[in-house]
Chain A
Amino acid sequence: MDLNTTWFVLLGVLLAGYAILDGFDLGVGILYLAARNERERRLMLNSIGPIWDGNEVWLVTFGGAMFAAFPNAYATVFSGFYVAFMILLFALIFRAVSIEFRSKRDSLWWKRFWDCSFFGASLLATFLFGVAAGNALLGMPINAGGVFIGSFIDLVRPYPALIGLLTVFFAVMHGAIYLYLKTEGELQQVVHRWMWRGFGLTLVAYMLATIYTLAVMPQAVRNFNEHSWSWIVVTLTVLSFANIPRAIFLGRPFYAFLSSSLTITALVFLFSFTLYPNLVSSSISPEYSLTIFNAASSEKTLRIMAIIALIGMPFVLAYTAAIYWAFRGKVKISEHSY
Chain B
Amino acid sequence: MPFLNVRFLETTSYMDVVTLSRVQFALTIMFHYLFPPLAIGMGAFLVFLEAGYLKTGDAQFEVAAKFWTRIFALNFALGVASGIVMEFQFGTNWAAYSRYVGDVFGSALAAEGIFAFFLESGFLALLVFGWDRVSARMHFFATLMVSLGSIFSAIWIVVAISWQQTPAGFVIRDFVTPAGIVKRAELTDFWKVVFNPSAMDRLVHVVLGAFILGSFFVLSISAYYLLKDRYVDVARRSFTTALAVAAAASILMLISGDAQGRIVARYQPAKLAAMEGIFQSTGTGAPIHIFGIPDAKSRVVRYNLEIPGLLSFLAYRDSSKPVPGLDGFEPDTPPVALPFFSFHIMVGLGIYFLALAVYGLWCRARGTLFKKRWLLWTFVFSVVGPFLANELGWVAAEVGRQPWIVYNQLRTGDAVSRGLGSSQVLGSIIMFAVIYALLLAVWIYLLNDKIQGGPELVSMPGEASLRDALNVASRYPGRTGSLTETKE
Give the B-binding residues of A (Cβ under 8 A): 38, 42, 49-51, 53-54, 56-57, 59-61, 63-65, 67-69, 71-72, 74-80, 82-83, 85-86, 89-90, 92-94, 96-97, 99-101, 104-106, 143-149, 287-290, 294, 297-298, 300-301, 304-305, 308-309, 312-313, 316, 319-320, 323, 326-327, 333-337
**Separation of A21 and B384 alpha carbons in the complex (Å):** 38
**Separation of A146 and B176 alpha carbons in the complex (Å):** 12
Query: Contact check: which of B95, B178, B427 meets A78 at CB < 8 Å?
Result: B95
A residues near B98, Cβ cutoff 8 Å: 67, 71, 74-75, 78
Q: Does A67 lie within 8 Å of B106, measured CB to CB? A: yes
Q: A82-B424, A313-B114 are in contact. Are A297 and B106 (CB under 8 A)?
A: yes
A-B contact list, 5 entries, CB within 8 Å: A71-B101, A79-B417, A86-B431, A319-B145, A336-B131
Within 8 A of A (CB), among B114-144: 114-115, 117-119, 121-126, 128-134
Give the A-binding residues of B (Cβ under 8 A): 73-74, 76-78, 80-85, 87-88, 90-93, 95-96, 98-99, 101-107, 109-115, 117-119, 121-126, 128-134, 145, 173, 176-180, 186-188, 190, 417-420, 424, 427-428, 431, 435, 439, 442, 446, 449-450, 456, 474, 476-479
Query: Contact check: which of A50, A61, A85 meets B88 at CB < 8 Å?
Result: A85
B residues near A298, Cβ cutoff 8 Å: 103, 173, 186-187
Q: A147-B418, A326-B134 are in contact. Are A67 and B109 (CB under 8 A)?
A: yes
Query: Contact check: which of B78, B93, B123, B477 meets A106 at CB < 8 Å?
Result: B477
B residues near A63, Cβ cutoff 8 Å: 87-88, 91, 113
Q: Does A69 lie within 8 Å of B419, measured CB to CB? A: no
**Separation of A101 and B85 alpha carbons in the complex (Å):** 19
**Separation of A323 and B446 alpha carbons in the complex (Å):** 28
Residue pairs across A and B with CB atoms within 8 Å: the count is 250
Known: A143-B179, A308-B115, A316-B122. 6 other contacts (CB 8 A): A53-B80, A67-B87, A71-B106, A96-B77, A320-B118, A323-B123
Q: Does A57 lie within 8 Å of B77, measured CB to CB? A: no
Query: Contact check: which of A92, A327, A337 meets B478 at CB < 8 Å?
Result: A337
Q: A67-B102, A75-B417, A78-B92 are in contact. Are A42 and B187 (CB under 8 A)?
A: no
Closest to A147 in B: B419
**Separation of A144 and B182 alpha carbons in the complex (Å):** 12
Q: A75-B91, A83-B424 are in contact. Are A56 and B80 (CB under 8 A)?
A: yes
Minimum C-beta distance from B148 to chain A (A): 12
**Separation of A85 and B118 alpha carbons in the complex (Å):** 23
Q: Does B102 lie within 8 Å of A49, measured CB to CB? A: no
Which of B92, B115, B180, B477 has the most CB atoms of chain A within a 10 A radius of its CB? B92
**Separation of A326 and B133 alpha carbons in the complex (Å):** 7
Q: Does A146 lie within 8 Å of B109, measured CB to CB? A: no
B residues near A92, Cβ cutoff 8 Å: 81, 84
B residues near A67, Cβ cutoff 8 Å: 87, 90-91, 98, 102, 105-106, 109-110
**Separation of A324 and B117 alpha carbons in the complex (Å):** 17
**Separation of A246 and B134 alpha carbons in the complex (Å):** 36
Query: Contact check: which of A57, A69, A82 meets B121 at CB < 8 Å?
Result: A57
**Separation of A83 and B123 alpha carbons in the complex (Å):** 33
Q: Does B81 lie within 8 Å of A86, measured CB to CB? A: no
Q: Does B418 lie within 8 Å of A145, measured CB to CB? A: yes
Q: Does B442 lie within 8 Å of A50, measured CB to CB? A: no
A residues near B76, Cβ cutoff 8 Å: 53
Q: Does B126 lie within 8 Å of A326, measured CB to CB? A: yes
Minimum C-beta distance from A153 to chain B (A): 13
7 shortest A-B CB distances, which residue pairs? A71-B102, A78-B91, A61-B113, A68-B106, A50-B125, A67-B106, A79-B417
Query: Contact check: which of A93, A101, A316 meets B82 at CB < 8 Å?
Result: A93
Q: A90-B431, A145-B179 are in contact. Are A104 and B446 (CB under 8 A)?
A: yes
**Separation of A301 and B123 alpha carbons in the complex (Å):** 29
Q: Does A54 lie within 8 Å of B118, measured CB to CB? A: yes
Q: Does A57 lie within 8 Å of B113, measured CB to CB? A: yes
Q: Does A75 lie within 8 Å of B102, measured CB to CB? A: yes
Query: Contact check: which of B99, B124, B130 meets A72 at CB < 8 Å?
Result: B99
Closest to A92 in B: B84
Q: Does B118 lie within 8 Å of A327, measured CB to CB? A: no
Q: Does A336 lie within 8 Å of B129, measured CB to CB? A: yes
**Separation of A90 and B85 alpha carbons in the complex (Å):** 9
Query: Contact check: which of B73, B126, B420, B427 meets A79 at CB < 8 Å?
Result: B420
Q: Does B130 lie within 8 Å of A326, measured CB to CB? A: yes
Q: A79-B417, A304-B187, A326-B133 are in contact. Are A60 and B125 (CB under 8 A)?
A: no
A residues near B84, Cβ cutoff 8 Å: 56, 59-60, 89, 92-93
Q: Does B124 lie within 8 Å of A54, measured CB to CB? A: yes
Closest to A298 in B: B186
Q: A50-B130, A71-B102, A72-B99 are in contact. Are A57 and B107 (CB under 8 A)?
A: no
A residues near B81, Cβ cutoff 8 Å: 92-93, 96-97
Minimum C-beta distance from B122 to chain A (A): 4
Q: Does A76 lie within 8 Å of B95, measured CB to CB? A: yes
**Separation of A143 and B419 alpha carbons in the complex (Å):** 11
Closest to A39 in B: B478
Closest to B111 in A: A308
A residues near B478, Cβ cutoff 8 Å: 42, 333-335, 337
Minimum C-beta distance from B372 to chain A (A): 34
B residues near A83, Cβ cutoff 8 Å: 424, 427
Minimum C-beta distance from A141 to chain B (A): 10
Q: Does B129 lie within 8 Å of A148, measured CB to CB? A: no
Q: Does B107 lie within 8 Å of A308, measured CB to CB? A: yes
Query: Contact check: which of A72, A77, A93, A336 meets B177 at CB < 8 Å?
Result: A72
